[in-house]
Amino acid sequence: MQLSPEQVQSVNILLSAVQVAQRRGAFSLQDAHTLQEALDRLVPREEQQRQAAEAAAADASGDEAEAVVSLPEDDVDSQPAGDSE
């Protein structure tokens, strides 16, 4: 069976979602093992490790961005109600 580029992209998105959910503890240990075996059949372990490192780096930079974004919200809450104009 030959997959179209769109289908390959869809499978990659699903695999990424499974990996994120697995890292966040969404699955039981047995389910996580079954999913990891399926991932190993589709994606070489080295590629999985590379993607995990990239995701961790993106998460770290995303946390910093969230902290910066949340600062103005704190400032808005501390302003008197009459200064909202």
Reported as a single tens digit per residue, the pLDDT across 33-83 is 998 898 888 888 888 888 888 888 887 876 544 433 333 444 444 444 455
What region, left, alpha or beta, does residue 25 occupy, with left being phi > 0 and alpha being psi -120 to 50 degrees?
left
Q: Measuring CA to CA, which residue among 30, 66, 43 is closest to residue 19?
A: 43
User: Are 70 and 37 spatial neighbours (Cβ–Cβ below 8 Å)?
Assistant: no
Query: What was the pLDDT predicted at 25?
Result: 93
Number of independent structural domains in the chain = 1
Residue 85 lies in a domain: no
Query: What was the pLDDT predicted at 26?
Result: 94
Domain range enclosing 43: 5-76
Residue 82 lies in a domain: no
Q: Is the pTM of this model over 0.85?
A: no
Residue 56 lies in a domain: yes
Residue 83 lies in a domain: no
**Pairwise pLDDT comparison (6 vs 58), residue with the higher score:** 6
